[in-house]
């Protein structure tokens, strides 16, 4: 890195935690990129068991950063850590509104293996810059870099050196760095080593060079509208390390900017100014809500009670009864109904007692051939449920066999 590049790079503030167990003070300038690296190696010694000299420990460590007394960081300060095995980085561009106000950032480190924590404070004292803001600002979009790669001191220094060779300013500062994801970009596919892309804004004290102005000519604007790469003569000075999308470059000249404030003309859609909001005073009288409570509770309860009484009267006090039903029913229908009930009751009683005597019509009285009287086929204690409905000839006693005719013409008894 050349001495000019080194001098330019020193304008960008880089800080790293020291080994002293105390709050760290840093002094960035307003309008200049601020980068603070949270090294895992420093916090490894904070978690027990403490490593011995020469012992290598590779525990996963993550960081949480917030403004003291608040759940998040200031609006200008961002934080990134790609994996638990990489260092965390705080970066951003301090604003002029925070000049002279110490900003205390609480840094909490978490050991994801032992679940131990360590906390330190970073005190940011923002100083005012002499030539803030720089009148000429250019924002480049670098396609082959991620934000944490661009924040590395060597990479950012090489980029500023390339810009200085093209622009030739006396003062050149890195103003801000923004990930393309924060500008609405898509997460790249994990193929071919694709990068997210990063926007880098730099400022200088001299007008833009002719090379940077080439983007504004009609031919290049037409190529950009057709999604073609414009022809830039100084692109080769960046191409060795940085792939710049020249269609997305932004050139801002602060010296030619006109105030955009316009007086508001009140019309139908604008309400008149009502002045400042005046909250009610503490001398307001207390209001008694007891009456409101009774009305709210008593009225629905009374209506529900009346409806319940009407329903109870209809269901219990308006029943016609059995006598009125019988009086309105014809006699012949009552007789039929009574006969059906008696028959049903008699059949149910008979089904309960199956040991009654068999009807005489089902018992044989005499032998069909000899004419002799046959005794009952079953005794009184015979189980009637096992009695077959029809008896075969083999089951009948005193049965006379009838001779059968053979095919040979002989008869056999």
Cα–Cα distance measured from residue 102 to residue 107, given in angstroms and rounded to the nearest whole number: 16
Strands (E), 19-80: 24-26, 34-38, 61-67, 77-80
State residue 44's pLDDT score: 80
Strands (E), 39-192: 61-67, 77-80, 88-92, 103-111, 117-124, 136-142, 172-179
Cα–Cα distance measured from residue 207 to residue 205, given in angstroms and rounded to the nearest whole number: 7
State residue 281's pLDDT score: 77
Write out the H or E segment, with its range, that includes residue 250: strand 250-253
Residues with Cβ within 8 Å of 105's Cβ and at least 6 positions away in sequence, in order, are: 65, 66, 67, 68, 73, 77, 90, 121, 122, 123, 124
H helices present in 168-252, as ranges: 210-213, 218-225, 236-239
Phi, psi of 324 (to 5 degrees): -65, -35
Neighbours of 158 (CB within 10 A): 18
State residue 297's pLDDT score: 92
Q: Mean pLDDT per 10-residue run, the chain (413 residues)?
A: 46 44 82 91 77 71 93 92 92 88 92 89 88 84 91 91 90 91 84 86 90 90 90 88 91 74 60 74 80 90 94 81 76 84 85 63 58 55 48 48 49 46
Tell me the β-bridge partners of 63.
Answer: 109
Q: Can you give the length of the chain in residues?
A: 413
Neighbours of 38 (CB within 10 A): 22
Q: pTM score, two decimals?
A: 0.57
State residue 259's pLDDT score: 53
Q: Which CATH architecture has domain 24-126?
A: Sandwich (2.60)
Structural domain spans, the chain: 24-126, 136-253
> Do 83 and 73 meet the contact criterion of CB atoms below 8 Å apart?
no
Write out the H or E segment, with its range, that includes residue 412: strand 411-412
State residue 100's pLDDT score: 84
State residue 324's pLDDT score: 74
State residue 354's pLDDT score: 63
């Amino acid at each position: 890195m050349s001495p000019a590049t080194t001098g330019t790079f020193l304008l960008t503030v880089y800080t790293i935690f020291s080994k002293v167990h105390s709050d760290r003070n840093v002094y960035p300038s307003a309008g200049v990129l601020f980068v603070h690296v949270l090294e895992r190696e420093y916090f490894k010694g904070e978690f027990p068991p403490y490593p011995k000299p020469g012992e290598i420990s590779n525990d996963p460590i993550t960081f949480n950063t917030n403004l003291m007394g608040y759940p998040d960081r200031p609006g200008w300060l961002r934080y990134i850590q790609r994996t638990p095995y990489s260092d965390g980085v705080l970066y951003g561009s301090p604003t002029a509104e925070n000049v002279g106000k110490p900003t205390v950032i609480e840094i909490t480190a978490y050991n994801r293996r032992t679940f131990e924590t360590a906390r330190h404070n970073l005190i940011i004292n923002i100083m005012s810059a002499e030539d803030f803001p720089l009148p000429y600002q250019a924002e480049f979009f670098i396609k082959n870099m991620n934000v944490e790669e661009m924040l590395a001191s060597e990479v950012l220094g090489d980029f500023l050196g390339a810009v200085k060779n093209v622009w030739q300013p006396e003062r050149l500062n890195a103003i801000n760095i923004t990930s393309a994801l924060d500008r609405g970009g898509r997460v790249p596919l994990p193929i071919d080593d694709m990068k997210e892309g990063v926007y880098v804004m730099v400022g200088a004290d001299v007008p833009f060079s002719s090379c940077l102005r080439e983007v504004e000519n009609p031919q290049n604007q037409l190529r950009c509208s057709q999604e073609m790469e414009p022809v830039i003569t100084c692109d080769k000075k960046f191409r060795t390390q940085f792939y710049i999308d020249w269609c997305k470059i932004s050139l801002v000249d602060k010296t030619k900017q006109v105030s955009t404030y316009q007086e508001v003309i009140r019309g139908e859609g604008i309400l008149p100014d009502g002045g400042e909001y005046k909250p009610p005073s503490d001398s307001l009288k207390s209001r008694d809500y007891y009456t409101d409570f009774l009305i709210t509770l008593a009225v629905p309860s009374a209506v529900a009670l009346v409806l319940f009484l009407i329903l109870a009267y209809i269901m219990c006090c308006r029943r016609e009864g059995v006598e009125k039903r019988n009086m309105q029913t014809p006699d012949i229908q009552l007789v039929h109904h009574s006969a059906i009930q008696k028959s049903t009751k008699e059949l149910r009683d008979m089904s309960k007692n199956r040991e009654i005597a068999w009807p005489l019509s089902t018992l044989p009285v005499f032998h069909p051939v000899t004419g002799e009287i046959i005794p009952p086929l079953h005794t009184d204690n015979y189980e009637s449920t096992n009695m077959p409905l029809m008896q075969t000839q083999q089951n009948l006693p005193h049965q006379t066999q009838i001779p059968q005719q053979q095919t040979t013409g002989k008869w056999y008894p």
